[in-house]
Structure 1
């Protein structure tokens, strides 16, 4: 049995965990998850090695919720051989593919968060048709190609409860700062008229579902 840590301890664990999310954005994600008023779980699409999951776990611990993480753990395009963020140590030699699941599980176990974080190992569009529980918070941070970002939007945004919060990571209005796919999701969702924007931090955008 893993030890169950308090929310503040999980925040500290998140800050030292492997990952790409800056602490100011992670703390903003934690605060947004704490502030959401409707019932339901917190679900993230795209987990890497678990850093963002721990920010959500800290909020879940304090609010009595659960965190669902959805990731195939084979890495995004930029993590594959020949790409900028490829790490050979993450390749499973038996199958020749990236496998971040062992590192993710170690991150969650070391932080004492196994009781609040439930990992689903599959592609998000495979799980989505099977999912029926309204979400209190949806965090989109999966693959950033146009096709996959649109697919995640189509699969999951409708599952957010009215009054729930949509968090989108790596939203960069200036193309020079990063990929455009998350920005496209953000602009499409906002243009739908079904959401209002909340204060964001850095590349993290937050929106509340109105209807």
Structure 2
């Protein structure tokens, strides 16, 4: 495909010439990237994935096979979207209006899901707009997210609830020897919990 510099787009992918795709990105078989979508550098869009009109993705994002990222979703740098994930965009979905006419684009207002830096959404999870997934949070496979997820939270279930904290390595944190202290067993990084929120301890 022409018009994109330093980008790998396989022949069966459908990428709008009005989209913006950063250098080093790859778009695989049967994926669709719609008009005005903005993909950063080094992004991967897997087989059969859908990136809606005007969706914004930061650098180093990975959207796995058959995920559906509907506009106007916004993904920060380094976001992971697992296979068959759905980011919705219609709070009150209907195919028709009360008078029986088919709804058009003018009959509803799309609302988006926001996913902040480094967060991950597991396979077949659904995020119901409008919600925000905080930085470095993890949504477990199959979860249904209907309210905002704080940074570093691990949420699971239907509806999704926080079951643990995770660090930037993605590994569940262990309680430290002081109240409110959490430690990453993978990296040794320390985190402080205050009023139900977690922040990384500054060095």
Normalized against structure 1, the TM-score is what? 0.24
Tell me which protein shows more helix as a share of its residues. 1
Structure whose alpha-carbon radius of gyration is higher: 2
Tell me which protein shows more strand as a share of its residues. 2
